[in-house]
Structure 1
Amino acid sequence: ENWGTFHESVRFPWPLKPVKLTLKKRNDQNNFETIWETEIDPASRMVNPAEYESGLKTYTVLSNGNPNQKVDIVILGDGYLDDEINKFHADANHMADALFEVEPFKSHKSDFNIRCVDTPSPVSGVNRPHPGIFKRTPLSVSYSAFDSERYALAYDNRTIRDVASAVPYEFMFILINEETYGGGGIYNLYSTVAVDNTFSEYIFVHEFGHHFAAL
């Protein structure tokens, strides 16, 4: 069944001179083959060097040093009302504690920084198509990805990247302000978890393994 396309980003340091960006994929023989490439000239007037100014508030969960020398995680939240932002911060601290209770993260806690970016929502909770609960939230997180009721993903990649750019990061977690069991994790993209059920801590660590290390 065709589910359409999935928008992603290629992130890399700003080039100092013209470069060629090449994406490769393994074929059936397990060899890499080029699937797309483009040339980028940072001096071109078609390349916009302006930084995105979100004006969003940020919150630090864990600070262990210079981002150039640490693993930096950004935590975003979806479905949190403005008066639930303190809950978002508490949820972020709680999930971070859960992550660093297990190895190998426990032994390497000092290698991580974790920061949050606040995105207050006009509604509490997120979109849940299976039970017919429809909502529009800042990050467009939705259950029922690929028609799996528990699978929760965010599809508005451009907005997510703009929001996350408020802090340094390599890896991203999106907390969902919901009780219903759910989450997801995609290697080198992001991971998600619904924060208010009895399995939330386990799912947080589990999905981060998919995102962080392709486990």
Structure 2
Amino acid sequence: MPPGNPGRLVRSLAALVLVSTAVLPAALELAGPSPFGVIGPGAPADRAVPPHTAQRADLRAGGAAPTVDIRRTGDPANRITLVLLGDGYAADEQDLFRQQADRAWRALMEIEPFRSYQGFFNIRRVEVVSPVSGIAETESRGRHPDTPLGMHFWCEGTARLLCADESATARFAGDGDGPQYLIALANSTEYGGAGGTGVTTLAGGSQDAGRIIQHEIGHTVGDLGDEYDSAPDDADYPNLSTENADEMRRKQNKWWRWLGAESPDGGGTIGAYRSANGIYRPTQDSVMRTLGGSYNLPSREAIIEELYRRVRPTDAPVPAPGEVAGRPRLEVRPLPLAGARQLKVDWTVDGVPVEPQAADRSWLDTAHLNLPAGHGATVTATVRDTTDWVRDEAFRDRYMTRSVSWTVTG
């Protein structure tokens, strides 16, 4: 969710985006987007569902629950933390929540580009114990059990829209040392979820939970819109356009850099495919159109760019940049990628390229430099993400590349 755009935020909460791998019956083909661009608890308070009983208000007032770091890839200040919380899980159902939470985040890490960039995420679980089992499901039509996060279907009059009290969810999640995405799982087997403000929601027990989170996180991280036919004709997203391929190419906007490229999932050529609502999408199909699909190339680029707006390509170097005495070993710490490709590291001494001793190029031993006694030199390491899933080179230079320098003296 881009900051400063409350009108779009409200519109994005209007209906739920969930499409199955097969054609949905009319009752399940939902009519609105859920680009729930969420990072941390900064959603407007007036969008939170108000408590319906004094008891639930008391439950949420404390906002404390056992917290477990289930995966840590690095310094939280330079990672995005996925915070998984449960609602409607009683004390004897916490094992069920743990299993469903694990299934959700693991499913997310199975789809590109999250698979390759999983090292950019820490994962934390918050074990919220509910005094009752289950949440307000479809048939409840406005009756809300006293659960700590107040999750319920029929949000804003839409049967499968699943909402949570965002203020309560943020309190239980707590403040992190870096950016956070809040993901609330409901103890329900119903098919549903939601997005649009401060909390991503899904029914943890749904057989489609893993595929739902793959779709919904595209809204969260990439600010992607829905590509299916019944979505509103709103093209204010990086993967939707009101213009055909020729117009995009002529104006150099939207995914013009990708036109003609082959989709890596075998989905054909990137172009401009018109949906029944009149809006163009990059490919015939994708996870933003059909659950179980893949992200098309423009969507992958949008997701990667949002990651780099929140984290730097390197953790703090050792020693700190600046003047260093003697001939120390200098080290940079690029964020890890999954797979053979890693971030590229280049070294220079007084502007002249040199080869480091480390096989992964992450460190340089200055004792091996041929420097005259008493001569100072400037050593620079440049870390760059060279992925071909990004074609915006200006963005790569600004966000995906970092240089650090040391002045070696003595």
Separation (CA, whole Å) in 2 of partners of 1:87 and 1:55 = 20
Separation (CA, whole Å) in 1 of partners of 2:187 and 2:132 = 10
- 1:79 touches 1:121 (CA, 8 Å); kept in 2? yes
Asked if 1:212 corresponds to 2:221, the answer is yes
TM-score (norm 2): 0.38
1:106 is displaced (CA, Å) by 0.2
3-state secondary structure, aligned to 2:156:
helix
TM-score (norm 1): 0.70
Asked if 1:77 corresponds to 2:86, the answer is yes
- 1:76 touches 1:174 (CA, 8 Å); kept in 2? yes
1:131 is displaced (CA, Å) by 4.3
**1:55–1:184 distance in 2 versus 1, CA, 3 Å:** closer
Bigger CA drift: 191-200 or 174-183? 191-200
Separation (CA, whole Å) in 2 of partners of 1:131 and 1:201 = 25
- 2:138 touches 2:160 (CA, 8 Å); kept in 1? no
Give aligned pairs, total: 167
Structure 2 counterpart of 1:141: 151
**1:24–1:96 distance in 2 versus 1, CA, 3 Å:** closer
Structure 1 counterpart of 2:167: 158
Aligned partner (choices 66, 74, 85) of residue 65 of structure 1: 74
- 1:190 touches 1:211 (CA, 8 Å); kept in 2? no
1:53 is displaced (CA, Å) by 7.6
> Which structure has greater strand proportion?
1
Q: Can you list the C-alpha shifts for 1:83-129, whole angstroms capped at 9, x where unaligned?
A: 11121111111111100100010001111101011110111110125
Aligned partner (choices 203, 206, 230) of residue 197 of structure 1: 206
Asked if 1:178 corresponds to 2:203, the answer is no
1:193 is displaced (CA, Å) by 0.7
| Uncovered stretches (5+) of structure 2, i.e. residues with no partner | 8-60, 225-410
1:161 is displaced (CA, Å) by 1.5
Structure 2 counterpart of 1:91: 100
- Identify the structure with bigger relative contact order (alpha carbons < 8 Å, sequence gap 6+): 1
Question: Once superposed, what is the RMSD of the aligned Cα atoms?
Answer: 2.3
Runs of 4+ in 1 over 6 A off after TM superposition: none
Separation (CA, whole Å) in 2 of partners of 1:26 and 1:173 = 21
3-state secondary structure, aligned to 1:74:
strand
Q: Can you list the C-alpha shifts for 1:3-46, whole angstroms capped at 9, x where unaligned?
A: xxxxxxxxxxxxxxxxxxxx74499xxxxxxxxxxxxxxxxxxx
1:166 is displaced (CA, Å) by 6.1
One-letter amino acid of the structure 2 residue matched with residue 128 of structure 1:
E
- 1:123 touches 1:137 (CA, 8 Å); kept in 2? yes
**1:53–1:135 distance in 2 versus 1, CA, 3 Å:** closer
1:195 is displaced (CA, Å) by 1.7
3-state secondary structure, aligned to 2:92:
helix
1:134 is displaced (CA, Å) by 4.1
Structure 2 counterpart of 1:128: 137
**1:63–1:148 distance in 2 versus 1, CA, 3 Å:** same
Separation (CA, whole Å) in 2 of partners of 1:53 and 1:120 = 12
**1:26–1:84 distance in 2 versus 1, CA, 3 Å:** closer
3-state secondary structure, aligned to 1:130:
helix
- 1:185 touches 1:208 (CA, 8 Å); kept in 2? no
Report the structure number with the largest CA radius of gyration: 2
1:211 is displaced (CA, Å) by 1.9
3-state secondary structure, aligned to 1:201:
helix
3-state secondary structure, aligned to 2:116:
helix
Structure 2 counterpart of 1:117: 126
Separation (CA, whole Å) in 1 of partners of 2:4 and 2:88 = 36
Separation (CA, whole Å) in 1 of partners of 2:6 and 2:147 = 36
Percent of aligned positions that are identical: 31
